[in-house]
Every structure is written in C-alpha cells, then in structure tokens.
A and B are shown apart, each in its own frame.
Chain A
C-alpha cells in the first residue's frame, strides 16, 4: 500500500505562498501508481475537514471552487512527489494540511482517500 510523507514550511506571514510537498513510497510511482490521483485536504476548528483539490498522474487538476483562484497542484513523477501551492495566504488558511492518495475506484465504489500523510500544521501570522 502506498505510504505518504509530507513536508513544507509551517509558519507563514499574510500574503505569502504556502508550499507543501508529499512524497510517495511503497512502489514504482510510474507503474504501481499510474492510475492514482493525489489530493490535499486541510482541517481547522472553524471549517473542519476541507477538500482542497486533486491532481492525477498526468498533471490534470481539479480544485475546490472556494480555493481555485489561489491553488496550484502539480506532480513530479521523476521524484515520486506531488505538491500544493496556495497563494496570498491569510489567517483563515491556518490549518493542519494533509496529503492523501486516491486509488482507482473498484467497480462503482467511487473514489476514496485511502492513505494519508502525517499532516503539516501551517500557521499564518504576522
């Protein structure tokens, strides 16, 4: 099963860009995980769990409309990594950020967030 480990800056000032990366382990990224999608989710006391968006193996993206104007996700198959950038952060972006894997659906079972990273606490403060 895929294992995820994430990293990135945990303290930002307002208007800066949040950048997080998630490393994928447990198999060949280009072979074992070629049909996977990769996603970011954040969690805060105010908003609970919030899906940010997803990127697939070829780099196609799908973002939450509430964040779409500030979000960019990408995948680097050579490094077995995927990344999140969120621009112009404010205090409202303070949250615990998780990366997760979305394996291909089994039949008509739909998508699921199967494996998760350990989480990165991002605090936005001047």
Chain B
C-alpha cells in the first residue's frame, strides 16, 4: 500500500496568514493526489484533485502543487472558516489511502 505522510500534524496560524501543508507518498503516484477539508462532526469535503484542480465552489485561496511523491496544499490568506483538519489522499491505485491529517488551529 502507498503510505501518505503529512506534515506538520498541526499548526497554529492567524487570519490572513499564508499556510502550507505538505504530503509525501511512499512511492510514485504521478498526479493522483487529492486534498480534503474536514470540520468537527462533518464529513470530509473535497477541495482539490489531480494535484491542483479546484473542486467546484472551492475558493481560489486554496491551491495545490507537486508531482511524483511530494505535494503541497497552500492557503494564501487564511480565513476564519478555514480552521479545520486537512487530509491528502492518493488515487494512483487501490487501496486508496489517506494522510494522517493536519489540524489548522487559531493562533
């Protein structure tokens, strides 16, 4: 199975900050990398697929980059509604696996 490792596990940031979360795959996954946002008590919400394609309705302050094994999610200007946990996931082959999550907290 492909192991997905996110860093950091948590971070504290202020509204307006630029936030970067990284995700590393244990093997090559091409561009089959997705990002989700999850708020407490809710299902994950798809933000980005194919590394950098924004899901419909997702604000443009979210962006993704990378290829191969190393990927990044960037929030250009953190908003109050962005405080949540973020997960990466690969869809290169099955079993599809997720990272352990990065919790973005208010500083």
- Chain A residues engaging chain B, CB cutoff 8 angstroms: 48-51, 62, 64-66, 98, 100, 108-114, 116-119
Contacts and interface: CB of A to CB of B under 8 A. Distances in A.
| Overall SS of chain A's interface | loop
Given A49-B44, A119-B43, A110 B31 contact: yes
A51 B89 CA distance: 10
Contact of B95 (A66, A111, A114): A66
Contacts of A116: 43-45
Contact of B101 (A48, A64, A100, A118): A48
Nearest to A119: B43
A111 B91 contact: yes
**Which interface residue of B46, B55, B94, B95 has the most chain A CB atoms within 10 A?**
B95
A62 B49 contact: no
Contacts of B49: 109-110, 112
A113 B44 CA distance: 9
Given A98-B43, A113-B46, 15 more contacts: A48-B87, A48-B100, A49-B87, A49-B89, A49-B98, A51-B95, A62-B94, A64-B94, A108-B31, A109-B49, A110-B31, A113-B34, A114-B46, A116-B43, A117-B43
